[in-house]
């Protein structure tokens, strides 16, 4: 039976001061507008602060850097996928064999990734090791490791989960899509996931 601690879910604090919440929403709205208009790489934190009408100190204290801002913008989308993994219908949610659940997860994650590739890339690469400090990565890793352990008892599921997730990091997946096209890129990663559970329920 799969069990993923809810504390692995990322997001804002449960309770937040009203003014802090307003500033947060202003910043996220401003960042979303600027990123859509100019592209993630072209937008500075100073520009986001000016667009949102908040001080630079407020912005940096709340989000740290542009990677933190990108992660915050992705939060709602990640939470939606996490909830579907935890309690949605199978095969993405509980109730399907682990091989089917892993295939469904890879397809769903690739859809999320390519829909928000620039933001995911920024959240993962703006500082060394950023991807692995994001709470969502721990969630994805735990989920994949559980499925691999169920499908292949005795394998090093933790290491294999990291290896599979490396294939869906924004930089390698984005490069693969640029070289081969998105359809071939997705098919390649899905085949890689299938190979890890082939012949197993």
Question: How far is it, in rounded angstroms, from Cα 112 to Cα 199?
Answer: 28
Q: Name the least confident of 23-27, 155-159, 172-176, 197-201.
A: 197-201
Looking only at Cα atoms, what is the longest distance across the chain? Answer: 57
Give 126's pLDDT tier (boundaries 50, 70, 90). confident
Say yes or no to pLDDT of 77 above 60.
yes
Give 123's pLDDT tier (boundaries 50, 70, 90). confident
DSSP string, 52-75: HT--HHHHHHHH-SHHHHHHHHHH
- pLDDT digits 0-9 by tens, 42-56: 899 999 999 999 999
> Is 44 strand, coil or helix?
coil
Q: Which ranges of 65-129 does DSSP label H, i.e. alpha helix?
A: 66-87, 98-115, 117-125
Give 122's pLDDT tier (boundaries 50, 70, 90). confident
- pLDDT digits 0-9 by tens, 131-186: 888 788 999 999 999 999 999 999 999 999 999 999 999 999 999 999 999 999 99
Question: How far is it, in rounded angstroms, from Cα 181 to Cα 186?
Answer: 9
Q: Is the pTM of this model over 0.75?
A: yes
DSSP label at 97?
Answer: -
Domains located in the chain, CATH noted: 16-64 (1.10.10.60), 66-197 (1.10.357.10)
């Amino acid at each position: 039976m799969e069990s993923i601690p809810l504390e692995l879910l990322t997001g804002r604090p449960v309770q937040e001061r009203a003014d802090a919440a307003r500033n947060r929403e202003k910043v996220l709205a401003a960042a979303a507008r600027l990123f859509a208009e100019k592209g993630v790489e072209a937008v500075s934190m100073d520009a986001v602060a000016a667009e949102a009408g908040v001080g630079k100190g407020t912005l940096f204290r709340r989000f740290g850097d542009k990677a933190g801002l990108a992660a915050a913008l992705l939060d709602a989308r990640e939470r939606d996928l996490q909830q579907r993994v935890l309690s949605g219908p199978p095969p993405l949610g509980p109730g399907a064999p682990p091989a089917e659940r892993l295939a469904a997860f890879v397809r769903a994650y690739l859809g999320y990734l390519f829909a928000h590739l620039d933001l995911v890339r920024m959240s993962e690469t703006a500082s060394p090791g950023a991807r692995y400090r994001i709470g969502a990565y721990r969630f994805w890793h735990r989920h994949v490791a559980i499925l691999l352990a169920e499908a292949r008892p005795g394998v090093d599921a933790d290491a294999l989960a990291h290896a599979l997730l490396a294939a869906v990091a924004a930089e390698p997946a984005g490069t693969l899509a640029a070289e081969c096209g998105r359809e071939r890129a997705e098919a390649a990663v899905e085949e890689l996931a299938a190979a890890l559970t082939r012949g197993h329920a």
